[in-house]
Amino acid sequence: MTSSMNPAIVATDLRKSYGDKVVLDGVDLMITEGTIFALLGPNGAGKTTTVQILSTLIKADGGTARVFGHDLAREPDAVRALIGVTGQFSAVDNLLTARENLTLMADLCHLGRAAGRRRIADLLDQFDLTEAAGKPVSTYSGGMRRRLDLAMTLVGEPRVIFLDEPTTGLDPRSRRAMWHIIRALVAEGVTILLTTQYLEEADQLADRVAFLDHGRLIAEGTPRELKRLIPGGHVVLQFADQEGLDSAARTLQTATRDDAALTLQVPSDGGVGSLRSLLDQLDRASISVAGLSVHTPDLDDVFLTLTGQPDTRASRPDHERAPTR
Amino acid sequence: MSTLSLAVRDSNTMLRRNLLHMRRYPSMTFLLIGIPIIILLLFVYVFGGTLGAGLGPSGDRSQYANYVTPGILLITVVSAAQGTAISVAMDMTEGIIARFRTMSIFRPSVLTGHVLGSLIQTMLSLAAVTGVALLVGFRPTANPVEWLAAVGVLAMITFALTWLSVALGLVSDSVETASNLPMPLILLPFLGSGFVPTDSMPTAVRLFADYQPFTPVMETLRGLLLGTGIGNNGAIAVVWCAVISVVCFLWAKSLYNRNRTA
C-alpha cells in the first residue's frame, strides 16, 4: 500500500433528490490515492447514488467533486478516462463470450490490436476465465460473471475503481476470491471506492470506512477508530429461570438485565482472565448459568449504535451524531 | 484522437457488437423477414386477382405482383424498424449500457452501432424479400443505374426509420412498449400508394395517402424499378427522409443523454 497522501477523489456537499425524496443530503468525501475506501449503509442509504454521481453516470443536484483534480461537471471525459466502474448489476454483454466482451472493451479503450490481445490474455488468466473464454456469458455462474465484470473494468487500466456491492449475492468462496483480487489491485496503487452492506467486508478490506444513512455520512474513520466509538464488548449470560436471573443481577451490579429473554448483559473485554473471574464470582454465589456468549464489538455494533432505532432517529439531536472525522 | 475519427472508430466497434448479436440470435432476423413475405404472398395469391383487375383493363395477378412489390419493400423496412426498437429497448435494460456511459468513448456510438447494424440487417432482408417477389412474378425493368438508385432510396428511408425506431426504443419504459410503438408504421404503406392507387380512395383518405412520407418513397421506387412516372416524388422522398433522420437523431440523442433515475 502506498502511503502517498494524494487525494484521488474529493467530493464536497454532494446533493441529489428524486422529486421529494432526498437521496444524498450533503456528502463530503476525501479518498487518498492507493487506498480502499468503503461506503457502508443499508439499502436506500444513497451508496449507489454516490457511485453513480462520482462515475459521471448521473449529475448531482448540488456540490462538487473532483477525480485527480478533474471536475466531474466540467471535464466528464477526463474523469471517464481515469475511472472504471463495476456496478451492482452485472455490466457485461450476456450475448457475447468473455473474450468478445473483453475485446469490446479493448477496442473502446483504443488499445492496439496486439496490446489488446495481450491484455485480454492476461486478464482471462488472472481472473481464471481462460477455459470459459469462448462460451457465452449467459451460461456463466454469478461468481464468473462478477469476475468478468471486474476484468472488463480493468482493461483500460483505470486509476480509480468504483465497486458497487461487488460481492452481493456471491457464495463465500467467490467472495473471498473477489477480496483477494481487490487487495491485489490496491497493492498496484489503484484507488478503490467500495460500497457494501457487509460490515465484515469493509472491516477486511478498507483503509477507511464511512457510514451512510439516509443520505448523510454519520461517521467516518478507520475500522479501528470506528469500533472505538462504541462501548466495548460484553458477555451475555443466559439463565434457566427468573430466580437465577434475579440472584445473578444482585451479584453483578454493572449488568443490564433482560427479563423477557432471561439474559444478563455484563460489560467485559472478552479476555480469558475476565471471563474466569466472572464465572468464579457466579460460582461463589452458587448461581447456575444455562449459557454464555462472548461479544466483541464489530462494525455491526457501530452501525446499529449510530443509526439507532428508526423512530428515535428523527428526534435525535445533531450533537449526538458521531463526528464525521 | 479527433472527434470524428473517435466517432468512426467507436461506432465501428459498436457495430461489430450488434452484428455479433444478430449472428448469435438469427431468429429475430428471420421473424422480421417473415412478416413482409407472408403479406406479399397473401396479396399476390389471395387478393392479387381482384386487386390486379382494378389496376386497369389489362390488370391481372402478375401485374399486381409488380404493383405491390414497392409497398412490400417498405413493409420490410418497417418490420425491421420494429426489431430495432425492440433490440434498443432490450439493450437499455442491460447493465453494460451503464458501463458505456462511464467510459471515455464517443457517446452516441451505442446508438450509431444499432443504426448501422439495423441498416445492414434491413438491406439483407430487402434482398431476401426482393428475391421472393421475383419468384412470385415481380418483373422489374430497371437498368443497373436505376437499381442502384432504388437501393439508395431504400437505404435512405431505412436510415430515417431506424433513427425513429431507436428513439422509440429509448422512449419506451419496457420492451413490450417498444414492440408496440412502431406498429402504426406498418399501416402507412396501406394508407398510401403501396397496395392500391390512391385515386381509388375517398377524398379524406386520399389526401392523407398523397401527402404522407411513404407514398413519394413508394412512387419513386415504382418509377425506378418499373419505369412509371416519378415526377417530383424523388425530391419529396429525399426531403422527408432527411427531415425524419435529423429530427429523430436529435431526439434519440437527447433521450440517451437524459439523466436516468433508475
The answer on pLDDT for A325 being more than 60 is no
- Which residue of B lies nearest to A107 if distances are taken between CA atoms? B13
- Which residue of A lies nearest to B259 if distances are taken between CA atoms? A58
Amino acid present at A197: Q
Share of chain A above pLDDT 70, in %: 90
Q: C-alpha cell of A116? A: 489488446
Strand-pair partners of A38: A194, A209
How much is the pLDDT for A275? 84
The answer on pLDDT for A316 being more than 50 is no
The answer on pLDDT for A324 being more than 50 is no
CA neighbours closer than 13 Å in the CB half-sphere of residue A145 = 24
SS3 state at A218:
strand
Residues 87-126 on A with a CB inside 8 Å of B are 87, 89-96, 100, 104, 107-110
Beta-strand ranges (E) seen in A222-282 are 234-238, 256-258, 263-267
Residues A116, A157: Cα–Cα separation, whole Å: 12
Residues B231, B204: Cα–Cα separation, whole Å: 23
How much is the pLDDT for B2? 79
Residues A250, B15: Cα–Cα separation, whole Å: 78
How much is the pLDDT for A255? 80
Q: C-alpha cell of B200? A: 381509388
Q: Are B85 and B173 in contact (CB under 8 A)?
A: no
Note whether A136 contacts B: Cβ–Cβ < 8 A. yes
Orientation of helix B26-41 relative to helix B109-135, angle to 10°: 40
pLDDT tens digits along A165-210: 888 888 888 888 889 989 999 999 999 999 988 888 888 899 999 9
Where residue A262 falls (left for φ over 0; alpha for ψ -120 to 50; beta otherwise) is left
Q: Which residues contact A276 (CB under 8 A, 6 or more apart)?
A: none
CB spacing of A91 vs B21 below 8 angstroms = no
Domains of chain A, CATH where assigned: 7-82+158-228 (3.40.50.300), 234-295 (3.30.70)
Residue appearing with cell numbers 477526463 = A78
How much is the pLDDT for A311? 35
What's the whole-number mean pLDDT along residues A106-122?
A: 93
CB spacing of A108 vs B98 below 8 angstroms = no
Residues B92, B170: Cα–Cα separation, whole Å: 7
Concatenate the DSSP letters of all residues of A106-147 into one string.
HHHTT--HHHHHHHHHHHHHHTT-TTTTTSBGGG--HHHHHH
- Please report the sign of the dihedral spanned by the C-alpha atoms of residue A115, residue A116, residue A119, residue A124: negative
Residues B74, B85: Cα–Cα separation, whole Å: 17
How much is the pLDDT for B260? 54
The answer on pLDDT for A309 being more than 90 is no
Tell me what the pLDDT averaged over chain B comes to: 92
Residues 82-101 on B with a CB inside 8 Å of A are 94-96, 98-101
Residues B116, B22: Cα–Cα separation, whole Å: 12
Question: Which candidate from A91, A95, A156 shows the least CB-CB separation from B21?
Answer: A95
Question: Which candidate from A58, A78, A152 shows the least CB-CB separation from B259?
Answer: A58
Question: Which candidate from A90, A94, A107 shows the least CB-CB separation from B13?
Answer: A107
Residue appearing with cell numbers 478498507 = A206
- Which residue of A lies nearest to B260 if distances are taken between CA atoms? A58
Please name which of A266, A256, A261 lies closest in space to residue A239, comparing C-alpha atoms: A261
Could you tell me which residue, A256 or B84, shows the higher pLDDT?
A: B84
How much is the pLDDT for A310? 41
Residues A126, A129: Cα–Cα separation, whole Å: 8
Q: State the complex-level ipTM.
A: 0.85
Structure confidence at residue A264 as a pLDDT band (50, 70, 90) = confident
Beta-strand ranges (E) seen in A262-307 are 263-267, 291-295
Structure confidence at residue A319 as a pLDDT band (50, 70, 90) = very low
CB spacing of B20 vs A59 below 8 angstroms = no
CB-CB neighbors (< 8 A) of A57 in chain B = 98, 101-102, 260
Question: Which candidate from B9, B17, B105 shows the least CB-CB separation from A93?
Answer: B17
Could you tell me which residue, A304 or A62, shows the higher pLDDT?
A: A62
pLDDT tens digits along A115-143: 999 999 999 998 889 999 999 999 998 88
Strand-pair partners of B60: none
Q: What residues in chain B have per-residue pLDDT under 50?
A: 261-262
How much is the pLDDT for A232? 65
Question: Which of A72, A105, A108, A149 is the best substitution to test chain B (most B C-beta atoms within 10 A)?
Answer: A108
How much is the pLDDT for B259? 52
SS3 state at A265:
strand
Orientation of helix A98-108 relative to helix A113-126, angle to 10°: 140
How much is the pLDDT for B57? 84
What's the whole-number mean pLDDT along residues A209-232?
A: 83
CB-CB neighbors (< 8 A) of A136 in chain B = 24
Residue appearing with cell numbers 490474455 = A121
Which ranges in chain B belong to alpha helices (H)?
3-24, 26-41, 48-53, 61-92, 95-101, 109-135, 144-171, 175-180, 203-211, 214-226, 233-257
CB spacing of A57 vs B21 below 8 angstroms = no
What's the whole-number mean pLDDT along residues A48-66?
A: 92
How much is the pLDDT for B1? 62
Question: Which of B25, B86, B99 is the best substitution to test chain A (most A C-beta atoms within 10 A)?
Answer: B99
Note whether B27 contacts A: Cβ–Cβ < 8 A. no
